[in-house]
Structure 1
Amino acid sequence: MTKPSRPTLADIRKAWPATVPVTQAANALGCSRSHLHNLINRGEAPVKTLPLGRRHVVVTADLIRLLSGEPPATAQEQGAA
């Protein structure tokens, strides 16, 4: 079985929806699905995730921010009061 190729930042910006599965985000980050799940479960994920039932999805805008080298969003930018 072949591993899917890593998407480019341009691919992600152009075609990805607002949220993506952990597997897809892990591929873009160059890590395994299980590693990203472990980071999420410990609250140490480098990207914003949202719980969706028993699973999580990754916010694509935050993934783009990380991959493009931009600084993390502030609490105000994330909508916190």
Structure 2
Amino acid sequence: MTTQETGVQPQSGAMSLEELLSLPATVNVTTAGRALGIGRDKAYELIREGRFPVRTLPLGGTVRVPTAELWKILGVEGARV
């Protein structure tokens, strides 16, 4: 559903359901943080502390986050058709 269909505006900077469902298989930490409603710095802080709410994939000098795990924690698991 789009913002027009639901009549609900996402919070400033927050990701809409439509955006969330269109994400690729993995995303960067900034995008994952946005999906969770937290900033980039806070997301990296949580990763360093081992407290990020989903599994992360360290790949060389970058970190990726599995989108399916974001969907699950946000309660949109299986919503993609």
Superposed pair shares fold, TM > 0.5:
yes
Are residue 27 (structure 1) and residue 28 (structure 2) matched? Answer: no
Alignment partner, residue 74 of structure 1? none
Task: Name structure 2 gaps, 5 residues minimum.
Answer: 1-11
Q: Once the two structures are superposed, what CA deviation does each residue of 1:17-62 show, in whole Å capped at 9, x if it has no partner? A: 0100100111111111011101111111101110011221111000
Give me the whole-angstrom Cα distance separating, in 2, the residues matched to 1:5 and 1:44.
22
Are residue 38 (structure 1) and residue 45 (structure 2) matched? Answer: yes
1:5 to 8, 13, 25: 13
**Is the Cα–Cα contact under 8 Å of residues 9 and 67 in structure 1 kept in the other structure?**
no
Task: Name structure 1 gaps, 5 residues minimum.
Answer: 71-81
- When the two structures are aligned, how many residues end up with a matched partner? 66
Give me the whole-angstrom Cα distance separating, in 2, the residues matched to 1:6 and 1:46.
17
Alignment partner, residue 75 of structure 1? none
- Percent of aligned pairs sharing the same letter: 42
SS at match of 2:38: coil
Query: Alignment RMSD, CA only?
Result: 1.9
Give me the whole-angstrom Cα distance separating, in 2, the residues matched to 1:66 and 1:41.
20
TM-score by length of 1: 0.70
Match of 2:26, as an amino acid? Answer: T
**Is the Cα–Cα contact under 8 Å of residues 25 and 63 in structure 1 kept in the other structure?**
yes
TM-score by length of 2: 0.70
Match of 2:44, as an amino acid? Answer: H
Alignment partner, residue 59 of structure 1? 66
